[in-house]
């Protein structure tokens, strides 16, 4: 799994590529920690290039969402790959975490709430 991150006016966009599974989930923690230490709390996971997502990946998304909620922040998802959309719908995660068709829509939504 590969993660690129970018800060945009107080919002952090993580672009994830590859598989979100047990062996790769700790990589997300490393990236998230750096931004939390800076006091940032509005995150977007762009998942257009995620090829597969396991229950560990789903668990990490839920954990991150709760962690940000506890800090007064917010997590949203954007640009879901077809596989992600299918798996997250099965897990009913789209009922819990806001999902946007594009990264730009997600950025705009978070700007309105921050």
Tell me which DSSP letter residue 40 carries.
-
> CA 88, 90, 96, 101: dihedral to nearest 10 degrees?
40
Residue-level pLDDT at 114: 66
What local confidence, expressed as pLDDT, does residue 52 receive?
95
* pLDDT score for 16: 96
Give the number of other Cβ atoms within 10 Å of residue 113's Cβ: 11
User: pLDDT, tens digit, for every residue of 12-21?
Assistant: 999 999 999 9
How far apart, in whole angstroms, are the C-alpha atoms of residue 36 and residue 39? Answer: 5
Segments of the chain with pLDDT less than 70: 114
- So what's the pLDDT on residue 64? 96
> Can you tell me whether residue 24 is helix, strand or coil?
coil
Q: Which CATH number applies to 2-113?
A: 3.30.750.24
Q: Where are the domains positioned within the chain?
A: 2-113
């Amino acid at each position: 799994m590969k993660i690129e991150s970018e800060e945009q006016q107080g919002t952090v966009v993580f672009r994830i590529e590859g598989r979100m599974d047990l062996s790769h989930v700790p990589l997300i923690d490393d990236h998230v920690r750096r931004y939390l230490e800076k006091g940032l709390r509005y995150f977007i996971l762009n998942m257009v290039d995620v090829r597969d997502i396991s229950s560990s990946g789903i668990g990490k998304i839920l954990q991150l969402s709760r962690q940000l909620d506890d800090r007064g922040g917010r997590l949203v998802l954007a640009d879901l790959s077809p596989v992600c959309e299918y798996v997250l719908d099965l897990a009913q995660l789209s009922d819990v975490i806001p999902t946007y068709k594009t990264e730009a829509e997600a950025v705009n939504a978070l700007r309105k709430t921050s």
